[in-house]
Amino acid sequence: MSFKGIARGKLIELDQSLPFSEGQRLNVSIEPLAHETGESQAQRILRVLREGPHVDPADVEAMMKVIEEARLPTRYDAVFHNEKA
């Protein structure tokens, strides 16, 4: 579930009511709205690219090996070449 609201000190004023009973304990995850961070889309992309995650080259090599081993052979003959019309 995702809700939008405004931070007011230790409180968050939501734009709409929550579908929970009064006093219900909740797990909350908070992040600023993308368009309100002051970053352009290009700046956000560059930040993510710089921050990582940075992958170990050995892990990349292992993944490429698994992908290569899982490939199915390519068939160049027609599937229905023996079929009669």
Encode pLDDT of 20-57 as tens digits: 999 999 888 888 776 666 778 888 788 888 887 778 88
Outline where DSSP puts E strands in the chain.
5-8, 11-14
Q: What is the pLDDT of residue 84?
A: 60
Q: Is residue 15 in some structural domain?
A: yes
What is the enclosing helix (H) or strand (E) of 58?
Answer: helix 57-70
Q: Is residue 79 in some structural domain?
A: no
Is 34 within 8 Å of 42 (Cβ atoms)?
no
Q: Is residue 35 in some structural domain?
A: yes
Q: Which domain covers residue 50, as residue numbers?
A: 5-70
Q: What is the pLDDT of residue 31?
A: 81
pTM for this predicted structure: 0.35
Let me know the angle formed at the C-alpha of 34 by 37 and 31, rounded to the nearest 5 degrees.
85
Q: Average pLDDT, stretch 75-79? A: 73
Q: Is the pLDDT of residue 3 over 80?
A: yes
Q: What is the pLDDT of residue 70?
A: 92
Q: Is residue 76 in some structural domain?
A: no
Return contacts of 29-34, CB within 8 angstroms, 24+ apart: 33/4
Q: Is residue 14 in some structural domain?
A: yes
Domain count, the chain: 1
